[in-house]
Amino acid sequence: MMICVECGSQVEELKRGLCLECYVQKYVDADIEDPIEIKLCSKCGSAKKGKKWLERPDLQSIMLDRIEDAISLSSSIDQFSYHVEFHEGDPRNIKVNVTIEMVVEDHIREKDLSSNIILKKDQCTNCSRREGNYYEAILQVRPSKKEMTEEQKKGVIRTVHKRIKEDKEKKRDIFITAEREIHGGLDFYLSDKMVSKNLSYDIADKFGGVVTTSSELAGREDGRNVYRMTYSVRLPPYEEGDFIGHQGMIYRIKNAKSGSDPVTVHDIKNDKITTLDKKKIKEAHIYGGEELIKKAVVVSEEENEIQVLDPETYDTKTLLKPEDHPPGKKEVEVIKVDERLVLIPQEKD
Ligand SMILES: [Zn+2]
Ligand SMILES: [Zn+2]
């Protein structure tokens, strides 16, 4: 038997000359930081947890996390548990009491600790980047000729905004720094390279067109070169409903939004739906769209031919009649390309 120098009780084993109970009272200890700081973004209300900023934070759980981090314990402890009490009052300076139970072998020590949680105003990475007009990439959408149509512009803007909104919901650190109409097209300055790249391919798929990538040295950060990317989508020079000519044939574009796939067209002379690959499309001559279509009065009609009045000169012209052209029409639709009048068959699906 051995005798504890503190309380005099007889025990089998001593720790630092003490019985287990005296040892626990003397050497098993806990402490807490005071004050405990939590940084909140004064712009968007994000809270900093570790190195990260959390949007729409659950403040209660962040406070509990920070309290756990702020507690320090003697290394000899086998187990511990604690109970936290928050005191109402100043919302920027919250008083907390922590009752902590520490277990060594079968002895328990309880200790009451107290601290103050201070909510400090700061600016999150996102907000400070936003203020500094930060961007990693420019997404450009450009027409091949003239201007993008209003419909194209609206469609592209909708696609970009939708994607950014979805990513934000997944709590991704992403925003549009600037967007503008320029050179008949659109520019989006985005805070994230990958999203810009993915968006450029989405837009090329949806609206037709090809993507080109370029980069520019923007400076150095942490000893590394930082590049700013430009993803440029060149929209096709034609739109749905445009008439194009290729090797003596005349086609009407049925689906311009084919991405890299062949383009579906209506072969006007043979009244047939077919496809043209991108190479042929590139070689083709674009005559124009809807505005080319004129009504022509039918003068007479035979089995394979039809006579109409040229809507410009009023000369009688003989046109080939597509196979299933409905007979007995008083007027037909025509276009004039390369000084020739061509009958437009009914739209087919
Ligand atoms: Zn003792
Ligand atoms: Zn913020």
Spacing, Cα 46 to ligand 2 middle (Å): 6
* Annotated domain spans of the chain: 26-125, 133-234, 243-343
**Smallest-distance ligand from the CA of 4:** 1
Spacing, Cα 7 to ligand 1 middle (Å): 4
**Residue 25, pLDDT score:** 87
> Alpha helix (H) ranges present in the chain?
20-27, 59-70, 125-131, 150-169, 193-207, 278-283
What span, in angstroms and rounded, lies between the C-alpha atoms of 111 and 117? 19
pLDDT tens-digit profile of 157-177? 999 999 999 988 886 778 899
Pick the CATH number of 26-125 from 1.20.272, 1.10.1740, 2.60.40, 3.30.70: 2.60.40
Instruction: Tell me the angle at which helices 150-169 and 193-207 cross, rounded to the nearest 10 degrees.
Output: 140
**Residue 288, pLDDT score:** 87
Identify residue 170 by its one-letter amino acid code. K
Residues within 5 Å of ion ligand 2, judged at the Cβ atom: 41, 43-44, 46, 124, 127
**What pTM did the predictor assign?**
0.56
Spacing, Cα 109 to ligand 1 middle (Å): 14
pLDDT tens-digit profile of 230-256? 999 998 888 888 999 999 899 999 887
